[in-house]
Structures are given as C-alpha cells and as structure tokens.
Amino acid sequence: MNKLIHLITVSLLLTISFATLAQSSTPKEDHQFQNWLNDFKLQARQAGISEETLTQAFKGIKPSPKVLDSDRKQPEFTRTFYQYFNSAVSKNRVEVGQKQYQKLRPLLNEVSQKYGIPSQILISFWGMETNYGRFTGNLPIIQSLVTLAYDPRRTTFFSKQLMAALKIIDQGHVQPSQMKGSWAGAMGQVQFMPTNYLQYAVDGDGDGKINLWDSLPDAFHSAGHFLQTLGWNPEQSWGKEVSLPKGFDYSFADGKTKRTLQAWQALGVKETNRQALHINGSNLKATQTAKLLLPSDYRGPAFLVYDNFQVIKRWNNSNNYALAVGHLSNRILGKPPLTKKQPKGDKGLSRDQMKQIQSLLNQLGYAAGKPDGIAGSKTRSALRAFQVAQKIPADGAPSYRILQVLKKAFDKQNHTFVDEII
C-alpha cells in the first residue's frame, strides 16, 4: 500500500514538473522578448510616453500563457441562438436590470438627454458587458496587451491597444495596478478597448479623471458618447419581434436586404399578436426601412431591425449580441419575453458537424462548396435548395436537426421527407 502511494506521489510530481517546464520560457525566448520590448519602449518614448510610466507598466513583465491560451481557444460547439439568448437575457439579468434602471434614473436621464441614447439601452449594455459591474475582469491589462502585441498573429492591432493603454496611464487616469480587465484588453464597467477609451471616454463626474472602473457617471457618459458617435438615431428603436405568415419565403430573412415597413407588411409580416404592423405612429413611418432577421431556424423568432441595430453591432459585431441588447432593454421596461420558446432537442453544432452538413449537401447534389465548417451564403443557399426539394420550410439554417434530415436523405438516396424529425 505504501509503495502504491509512493508511486502515485512520484507520478504526480513528475506531471507537475513537466507542466511547469512546458510553461517556462527558454533563455533564447526571453532574449527575443526583451529585444521586442526594448523596441516597443523606444516607440513609446517617441510617442511621448514618460519614463516613469514605462518603468511602472513594464516592471517584471512577461508574456502570459493564460492569455495566449484564451486567444487560441476555440469553442468545440457553437451555441444555438436559444442557448446564447437564454443566458444573456436570463430572469436574473432582467430583474437586476429593472432595479438598476429605477435606482440610477437621475444619472441615466442626464446621459440620455445629453447624447440621445435611451436609458434602458444604456443599462442593457452595462448588463451585457459586465453583468451590471459585477465582473469587469481581473487580468492585468498591460500584461494581456504585451502578450498579444508580442504574439505575431495580431501584433499590429494589439500594439496599437498597448500604446493607447500606456497613454491612459501617462495621462493620470489610473495606475497600472488598477488597470485590470479581460484577457483581450477590454476594460471597465462597459468594457472599452484602450483606443476607444482615449477616443470616446468622458469625465462624467467632473473630477478631472476618466475612471471607467469605479465611476458610473464616467462609464455611462462614455457609453452614451460612444453610441452617439457610432450613429444612434434617437428617433428610432432598435427593432422588434414580428410574426411571419405560413409559406413565407425565408430567403427574404437574410438580415441584409432592406425594405420599407410598407413592403414588409405587403409580404405578410405582422406584429407578434398577428395584427398589422404598427406604422405611421410611435416614430415609425411606412417608408422607414428595416431588415428581416431569423437568428435560428423557422421555428424560432423573427425580427425586423432598424439602423440602430447596426449601431449596436458596431459595438460588438454579432447578431445574437445585438438582439440580446435590444431585447434586454425591452424587458427592463417591463415588456414581455419572446413569443417563441426554445424547441425540444435544440443543440449546438461542432465545426466537424458543420463540415458534415456541407459534405452531405455536396454528395446529394447541392453545391455547398468545400467543407470548411463555416456556414456561409453558399452553404445556406445549398441547404435552402435541399429543403425546397424536401418540401420542408426552406430557412437555410444549419442545425443539429437538419443534419439528421440530411443523414437520412443520404442513407435513403431518395430525399424522403422525415415527419418525426421535422
């Protein structure tokens, strides 16, 4: 028994030693990093960064394996719209958002009046970015940016962010030890990258400094200024959930093609209560343009989105993120949840499964292009053609469900419609 314990202990020690060795850098790597750092310091001095700031910021600095690991890590499965949305617009996030909305009304009204951004949108961004300030990130920003700037993959972008972070310190807004955030360098209550901090951040409380970590006036004024600069139209909302008629041509729901509300109404698009679209009222005109977006498959919700939706995407270029910001802002005002519930068996796809979908489409005679695991326009077009042939809703949406349909069609080689799956 003692011998067994001894062997296990030795094995564990060896494992730890090898792991430590794997993470340590060689003298050659240390020398290369120091050369790079010396070159960057020279550029920083030429850009006007003080010697004091450089000494404070770079004291004992080394690249972080943890940051590199986060940068390289790719999720094994892509979350479905519902998996993302149910987490982003959870019951708790809605309830906390409603309480914060009431608590901070004076500040929110001040920011809204100055920049034209609705109070509920400001609270929604805050909720999405840091869960209302509960988690702003705990990694040293300078180390994260040094790691990513030194790494050749995106050195130009992150070198620019690192220089901006040094300027923020040099201007006296925060100390290097206070500057903590995400592994990618996003900072503060609303997660600004350093270049955005320099360009858009505002001293909202008038203390002569811009502190996006500890000052809510600074954070909200900065978010309002940023959204205003990005082009937010105070005369419009972000969009709304709508209902589509039976037999609707889902190729119209590409999230790209603009049509007037009048044109969408003519195609049968209605309010979620099946009433005619509310236009010529509430700042909506029949000539206003909108895009139709279907973030899931035909069983999920459909949205008409306006130009402000694109403004949200300029903050974070993701349809799901922008829909979550918009819907959370609605819920904060007490509006109802989505009308469509998560369907049974809603599962994410791995990249390999996405490749399977593309390969099966190609083998069944629908040109999806080279299987690469990315659902581009060619894949969606091929999938839509397959669905038309199967006489099932042609939404062009890749999913675990449609993968099973493709497998059965391939096995039978006669494109038989499968009731139990649809």
Q: CA 138 to CA 183: how far, in whole Å?
A: 9
Indicate whether 53 belongs to any domain.
no
Q: How confident is the model at residue 422 (pLDDT cuts 50, 70, 90)?
A: very low
Per-residue b or e along 29-54, where b marks 16 or more CB atoms closer than 10 Å to that residue's CB: eeeebeebbeebbeebeeeebeeebb
CA distances from 272 to 113, 256, 323, 389 (A): 31, 21, 16, 29
Q: How confident is the model at residue 11 (pLDDT cuts 50, 70, 90)?
A: very low
Indicate whether 247 belongs to any domain.
yes
Q: Taking residues 245-256, report their average pLDDT.
A: 91
Helical H segments across 24-90, by residue range = 27-46, 51-58, 65-72, 81-88
The answer to whether residue 325 scores a pLDDT higher than 70 is yes
> Could you tell me the residue range of the domain that residue 259 belongs to?
239-305
Q: Choose between 78 and 68: higher pLDDT.
A: 68
Residue pLDDT, tens place only, 361-374: 999 999 999 999 98
Indicate whether 311 belongs to any domain.
no
Lowest-confidence range among 181-185, 262-266, 338-342, 413-417?
413-417
Per-residue b or e along 121-157, where b marks 16 or more CB atoms closer than 10 Å to that residue's CB: bbbbbbbbbbebbeebbebbbbbbbbbbbbeeeeeee
Q: Choose between 376 and 75: higher pLDDT.
A: 376
Indicate the pTM of the whole model: 0.87
Indicate whether 48 belongs to any domain.
no
The alpha carbon of residue 7 and the mean position of all alpha carbons in its chain are separated, in whole angstroms, by 47
Among the candidates 247, 278, 305, a domain finishes at 305
For the chain, the average pLDDT equals 90
Q: Taking residues 367-383, report their average pLDDT.
A: 92
Indicate whether 87 belongs to any domain.
no
Residues 6+ apart with CB under 8 A from 187: 136, 137, 141, 179, 180, 181, 193, 194, 197, 212, 213
Q: How much is the pLDDT for 17?
A: 35
Indicate whether 325 belongs to any domain.
no
Find out whether 212 and 186 touch, Cβ atoms under 8 Å: no
Q: How much is the pLDDT for 75?
A: 73
Question: Count of domains in the chain?
Answer: 2
Residue pLDDT, tens place only, 116-157: 999 999 999 999 999 999 999 999 999 999 999 999 999 999
Among the candidates 250, 282, 305, a domain finishes at 305
Q: How much is the pLDDT for 3?
A: 45
